[in-house]
Structure 1
Amino acid sequence: MKCAHFTLLLGLAAAVTSLPHAHRKRALEERPYSEFQISDGVAGNAQAEVFEQFPIDTSDLASVSASDLDIIKSARETAEAAEVDAGGFNEAIDAAGGADSAEGAPLQTGKIKNKVLKLQLEVLALQIEQAQGDDGVAEKLDEEQAKLDTNVALDEEAAGQPSQSVDFDG
Structure 2
Amino acid sequence: MARFTLIALFGSLLAGIASAAPVPVKLELAARANATGTFTEQDYSAFQISDGVGGTAVDEANAVFVDPFDGVDLSTVSSDTVEAINTMREAAESAETDDFDPQIDAATGATADALSVGKTKNKVLKLTGEIQAINIKIAQAQASGADTSDLEDSLNEEQTKLNTNIAADKANAGKTSQGVA
> What TM-score, normalized by structure 1, do the two folds share?
0.78
**Which residue of structure 1 lines up, in the alignment, with residue 103 of structure 2?**
92
For the aligned residues, what is the CA RMSD? Answer: 2.1
Task: Determine if contact 2:41/2:85 at 8 Å carries over to the other structure.
Answer: no
Identity within the alignment, %: 47
State the secondary structure of the residue aligned to 2:69: coil
CA-to-aligned-CA distance 1:1-47 (integer Å, 9 cap, x gap)? xxxxxxxxxxxxxxxxxx9x963404322211100100001111111
Q: Point out the structure with the larger helix share.
A: 2
CA separation in 2, counterparts of 1:68 and 1:156?
30
Matches within 5 A, 1:14-163: 23=31, 24-25=33-34, 26-54=37-65, 55-57=68-70, 60-85=73-98, 88-97=99-108, 101-133=109-141, 135=148, 136-163=150-177
Q: How many residues align?
A: 144
Flag as ranges the 4+ runs of structure 1 deviating above 4 A.
none
CA-to-aligned-CA distance 1:103-131 (integer Å, 9 cap, x gap)? 10000000000000000111111111011
CA offset at residue 65 of structure 1? 1.9
CA offset at residue 57 of structure 1? 2.3
In the alignment, residue 152 of structure 2 is paired with which amino acid?
A: A
Query: Unpaired segments of 5 or more residues in structure 2?
Result: 1-26, 142-146
Say if 1:148 and 1:83 are closer, same or farther in 2 by CA, change over 3 A: same
Matches within 5 A, 1:3-18: none
